[in-house]
Amino acid sequence: MRRQRNFFLILFAIFGFSLTVELPVAVAQNEKKTETKPDPANQETKDKDSASEEVEILPKLDEMKIPTVEELLKKPPVDWIVLENDSVLVVEPVYPRPDTLGQLDLALKESYNWPKPKSKEEIEEQRKMRADMNFIQITLIGDKETPEYRIQRKSVKEVIHHEDLMIKRIDLLFQEKDLKTGFELLLVLDRKHRDWPGFEDRQKKLMLLEAQDKQNSHQYLNALAYVQDLHNRAPEYPGLSQLAGEIIDVMISQAVKEKAYRKAHYYLNRLELMYPRQETVIKWKTAFLDESNSILKAAEQAASQQQYPEAIQAVSTAVVVWPANPKLRESLLRYQKRYPVINVGVLETALDETPYFLERESTRRHRTLTEIPLFEVSKVEQTPHYQSRFFEQWEPTDLGRRADFILRQSYSSWESHPTIIAADITNYLRSKITPGSAKYDERFDSYVRSVSTTGPFTFRVYFDRVPLRTEWLLSNPVNSPPIWQNISTIAESGTAGAEPSPAADEILASSRFIVDHQKDGIVSYRRSVPEPADLRDFNVAQINEVPYPSFEKSFQGLLLGEVSALAFLPAKLVSYFQDSEDFNVVQSAIPLTHVLQFNPESKPMQVIELRRALAYSIDRQKILSETLLHESRLLNGRLVTAPYFTGLQVYNQQVPQREYSFPLAVALAVASQKKLGGKFPTLHMLCDPNPEAQAAAQEMIKAWSQIGLKVVLIPNTPEEATKENQQWDIVYRTVVMTEPVAELWPFLTVGKGAQIESLEILPDWMRLSLIELDEATDWESATELIKKLQQQLYSMAHIIPLWEIDRFHVFRKNIKGYADRPLNFYDNVEQWVPEPYYPDVQFFTQK
């Protein structure tokens, strides 16, 4: 009991008789009751010395060590009671918390507002309760016998809670740059006691330190994220404005170095939204404005020399550099009106190298844009209807054995092709019937006996056999230079405008637009014949095809104003643009037909069981609905049994759809395996670069693998394109046929053309059917023959027609003059009128 008594005396001396034992305490007795009672004076001196010696044992506040992270997390929590003389008692957590002293003082102050007592008992009770507020209940650490005490409030200088100790340790961790551990300790503190005083300040400080740390490690985007988060909490936090400026200054500098001005504007906007008057904001705004003004001066100089393509290109660059330049709008409107340019978003251009040797969407666009055939399909209503830009009149005579043609002698200012005379056409047609000529066409020669010129603008064609359609027979462009007119002399004379014209040897008689240049993947097409310079309103003069790596990037380019039209819009996203007020969606008159075709020279593909196994193992309906249309109502796609449009008169609606049957596919695969020597070879597949076709091809390869067939997709890369003698077994094609009676022959020969020699790779029955179809003399018999051929091709799986998907194009509403239901994207392109359009600055400043 001596130890307890001494400790009690020590505390009694420290607190000046202010410490009382909470529990009943027995009076300490000497261990030997018979001992003489000590002298009171000597005893008092001894107690004082003993108390003084014990006080020196209590540590001072400046001697206390802040607990380590391990101690704070693994040991029981403790508080520090700091006495008036800076001595420290380590006790179990005290209450109320936090700010124990403040809460006691407040409670005592509020006690004087209690209702007036009505009895002596209430007076005594209130007195006792008020007296208790002058004490703090504590539990000593390590004293197991009588650990519970209470201390007078006035004897306590400060209470440092366990959570305060964590705050102090966090501060030390921040000084040591151990941000990770500091963050973890902050999380623990937040879980133990949410909103503890000082927690919010440390959290803000941690954000600033994290931002500085990411800045030092050149992780500027992460650093900016911390800055933005801290700004949202405390915009005026010390040092935050300067740090934000330093980080964003580096990011803008890097973006400008890469010519990524939109990214630079995006970061500049983020800084300006936080600190509008920050010096970095003023610095870069001035720099962008100066650079933009410099480019505008160059544009003005080019325009003064009537070099409008260079002027509009310069203004477009100035828009990208600093769209907020107030001088831009006037310059852009003026030059765009004089030299209208349309940027079209595409997924690939016709100049991209690919091992896919057949016609694809980009080559169809390129052909339509650069060539004008003598006759072209204007619309399709079960059968195609033709029109001609060159002929004023054409009439068959002598029971169809002769046809007389009269050419137009004048053209509208918007037409982009050169003037063409009868000699241009007759020379070209004679080369097609002259054996040994580079342009000799065996099939054309079988129809045409001779061609003669009857005047400058008239000529006559004699036929050996009457074609089903004269227009189809003459539907090719005149791919030879014009005889009497050279486009360069027109430009030099000033009657066709002062824009520099393409070289004369690049212009053909049927040229529409020609490739002007290619830069950074963007292919620019310019009118082969510029419009006269004295016009009031100008039609489109230049088209730039801007390639994007994916559908999503092309949509982003359209929304941000980089392009004004998309040549290809997936059916799954049609509804989005249809509901938009800024865009018009146009549906093509002919859908895109997807079909699988086999290499006639591939030995495995000559096994009919293998072809049928491939056909039966494909769940066409599932791939169409889930992969291509994404569970839409299937209004934009249909299963087909032929490689051409289901709305044509020659399409055989009686051919039943082949149903998906996995057991039958397995049985056919086993049968074909025996014919192939007991082992399946690896099959190689070419696929149209169309992303939808690529996605569908992957699904079919998975389906074929389930029946034991390994099919490898040949990558559409320039490296693959350089390989000679590319070996392939299957090709995934997309086709658009308007005249199947004439186009089926070259389709089945897989790019070898419509020649007798090309039929050698086909089975005998197919050769005879194609020749019989080609020699048909009336539409009734031709229709019957092609319907029969469709049924044979489908049943014997020489081709696997998959589905047809409606084609859609999207235009920004500032473009006028395009067709409502075009057959091809560039139909009527010469009459497109892009009204001047200045995108919202907000679009240009988005990342």
Q: What distance in Å separates the CA atoms of residue 400 and residue 469, rounded to the nearest whole number? A: 10
Phi-psi region of 803 (alpha: psi -120 to 50; beta: other; left: phi over 0): beta
Burial 681-716, CB ≥16 within 10 A → b, else e: eebbbbbbbbebbeebbebbbebbeebebebebbeb
- In this structure, are residues 444 and 753 in contact, taking their beta carbons and an 8 Å threshold? no
Q: Bigger pLDDT: 639 or 337?
A: 639
Work out the average pLDDT over 67-87: 89
- In this structure, are residues 206 and 175 in contact, taking their beta carbons and an 8 Å threshold? no
> Which strand (E) or helix (H) includes residue 21?
strand 20-21
Q: What distance in Å separates the CA atoms of residue 5 and residue 215, rounded to the nearest whole number? A: 61
Torsion of CA 329, 330, 333, 337, to 10 degrees: -170
* pLDDT surpasses 90 at 104: no
Q: Which sign, positive or negative, has the C-alpha torsion 833, 838, 842, 843?
A: positive
Q: What distance in Å separates the CA atoms of residue 344 and residue 522, rounded to the nearest whole number? A: 10
Chain segment 277-327, per-residue pLDDT in tens = 889 999 999 999 999 999 999 988 888 888 888 888 888 888 888 888 888
Of 555, 550, 553, 557, nearest in space to 577 by CA: 555
Of 40-54, 516-530, 620-634, 766-780, the one with minimum mean pLDDT is 40-54
Torsion of CA 260, 264, 266, 271, to 10 degrees: 170
**DSSP assignment letter at 98:** S
Residues 6+ apart with CB under 8 A from 794: 641, 642, 655, 658, 801
Chain segment 632-676, per-residue pLDDT in tens = 555 688 899 999 999 899 999 999 999 999 999 999 999 988 888
Structure tokens at 135: 């004490």
Bridge-based pairing of strands 592-598 and 730-735 is: antiparallel
**DSSP assignment letter at 78:** -
* pLDDT surpasses 60 at 223: yes
Bridge-based pairing of strands 20-21 and 565-569 is: unpaired
Of 376, 379, 444, 347, nearest in space to 734 by CA: 347
* pLDDT surpasses 50 at 490: no
Q: What distance in Å separates the CA atoms of residue 237 and residue 379, rounded to the nearest whole number? A: 68
Q: Looking at mean pLDDT, say which of 192-206, 504-518, 695-709, 823-837 comes out highest.
A: 695-709
Work out the average pLDDT over 245-253: 93
Work out the average pLDDT over 454-459: 90
Question: What per-residue confidence (pLDDT) applies to 596?
Answer: 94
Question: What per-residue confidence (pLDDT) applies to 17?
Answer: 35
Q: Looking at mean pLDDT, say which of 53-57, 107-111, 416-420, 422-426 comes out highest.
A: 422-426
Structure tokens at 205: 């400080």
Q: What distance in Å separates the CA atoms of residue 311 and residue 301, rounded to the nearest whole number? A: 8
Strand order in the sheet with 458-463: 391-397, 402-407, 458-463, 448-455
Q: What distance in Å separates the CA atoms of residue 751 and residue 358, rounded to the nearest whole number? A: 6
Q: What distance in Å separates the CA atoms of residue 413 and residue 539, rounded to the nearest whole number? A: 9
Chain segment 830-847, per-residue pLDDT in tens = 888 888 777 665 555 555
* pLDDT surpasses 80 at 142: no
Q: Which sign, positive or negative, has the C-alpha torsion 757, 758, 760, 763?
A: negative
Question: What per-residue confidence (pLDDT) applies to 413?
Answer: 82
Question: What per-residue confidence (pLDDT) applies to 765?
Answer: 87
**Distance of CA 138 to CAs 91, 129, 430, 435, 578, Å?**
6, 18, 115, 115, 74
Of 312-326, 379-393, 482-496, 580-594, the one with minimum mean pLDDT is 482-496
Confidence of residue 757 (pLDDT cuts 50, 70, 90): confident
- Measured from the Cβ of residue 112, the count of other Cβ atoms closer than 10 Å reads 8
* pLDDT surpasses 50 at 49: no
Q: What distance in Å separates the CA atoms of residue 500 and residue 497, rounded to the nearest whole number? A: 9
Q: Which residue in the block uniquely carries the two structure tokens 């000799």?
A: 440
* pLDDT surpasses 50 at 13: no
Say what angle helices 261-274 and 240-257 make with each other, to 10 degrees. Answer: 170
Confidence of residue 14 (pLDDT cuts 50, 70, 90): very low
Phi-psi region of 759 (alpha: psi -120 to 50; beta: other; left: phi over 0): alpha
Work out the average pLDDT over 744-760: 82
* pLDDT surpasses 90 at 755: no
Work out the average pLDDT over 383-396: 88
List the end-to-end C-alpha distance of the chain, in Å, as a whole number.
78
- Measured from the Cβ of residue 756, the count of other Cβ atoms closer than 10 Å reads 11
Chain segment 511-543, per-residue pLDDT in tens = 889 998 888 889 999 988 888 888 888 888 899
How many helices (H) and strands (E) the chain has is answered by 30, 27
Q: What distance in Å separates the CA atoms of residue 725 and residue 728, rounded to the nearest whole number? A: 9
* pLDDT surpasses 60 at 452: yes
Work out the average pLDDT over 172-176: 89
Question: What per-residue confidence (pLDDT) applies to 334?
Answer: 83
Q: Quick check: pTM over 0.85?
A: no
On the CB side of 94, how many CA atoms lie within 13 Å of its CA?
Answer: 30
Work out the average pLDDT over 681-697: 91
CA-atom Rg of the chain in angstroms: 45
Confidence of residue 21 (pLDDT cuts 50, 70, 90): very low
Torsion angles phi and psi, residue 157, rounded to 5: -85, -35
Bridge-based pairing of strands 341-346 and 565-569 is: parallel
* DSSP state letters, 396-450: EETTTTEEEEEE-S---TT--SPP--HHHHHHHHHHHTSTTSTT--HHHHHHEEE
pLDDT > 90: what percent of the chain? 26
Torsion angles phi and psi, residue 799, rounded to 5: -135, 160
Q: Bigger pLDDT: 257 or 32?
A: 257
Bridge-based pairing of strands 799-805 and 637-639 is: antiparallel
User: How much is the mean pLDDT over the chain?
Assistant: 83
Work out the average pLDDT over 606-611: 90
Work out the average pLDDT over 133-151: 80
Question: What per-residue confidence (pLDDT) applies to 16?
Answer: 42
Say what angle helices 220-233 and 199-216 make with each other, to 10 degrees. Answer: 160
- In this structure, are residues 613 and 668 in contact, taking their beta carbons and an 8 Å threshold? yes
Q: 840: exposed, middle or buried (C-beta count within 10 Å: 0-12, 13-18, 19+)?
A: exposed
